[in-house]
Amino acid sequence: MLPLRKIDCYGQLILGVLTIMSMLVLFGSGLLIGLFLLGCWQVISAVFNTNSFIRAGFRIRIFHYWTFCIVDLVLLFFSYSSVALIPNKMVTEILSGITFLGAIAIAVYYWKIYFKLINLMSLRDELDGLTKSKH
């Protein structure tokens, strides 16, 4: 299971790097498309790994991740629903900017806790192998 988690984590990292590099060619639309794909991938990954995070002792960190995601999605909803409610485009642009910066921060936060989880699981596997070989 650990090799799949490593593939998942590094795949997300590669997509993040490609998102940043696509800004040079596609400008803002590359960032938006990349953030959308990366966000979907990370949410799916977090759904499947939440139980592992909790069992590994990262309960508070994964709950923070889910809280940040929900708040960011609510802000994104309000930024696009405010277009019809508030004629001032500046409010919409500020809310959109906050949600996009929040999405980037959430992606980096998830990578940090995911790398810590992978390192902890690798260490546990290594220690299990050492203790089994001594008997």
Query: What is residue 117's predicted lDDT score, i.e. its pLDDT?
Result: 95
Provide the whole-model pTM: 0.86
Query: Contact at 8 Å (CB) between 35 and 103?
Result: yes
Give helix 89-134 / helix 2-26 axis angle, nearest 10°.
Answer: 150
Q: Is residue 135 part of a domain?
A: no
Residue-wise pLDDT tens digits, 15-26: 999 988 887 787
Q: Model confidence at 134, in pLDDT bands (50, 70, 90)?
A: low
User: Domain count of the chain?
Assistant: 1
- Chain centroid to Cα 120, Å, comes to 19
Residue-wise pLDDT tens digits, 116-126: 999 999 998 88
Query: What six digits make up the tokens of 2?
Result: 């650990």
Residue-wise pLDDT tens digits, 62-104: 999 999 999 999 988 888 776 666 667 787 888 888 999 999 9
Spatial neighbors of 80 by CB under 8 A, at least 6 apart, are 92, 96
Q: Which residues span the domain enclosing 120?
A: 2-127
Q: Is residue 134 part of a domain?
A: no
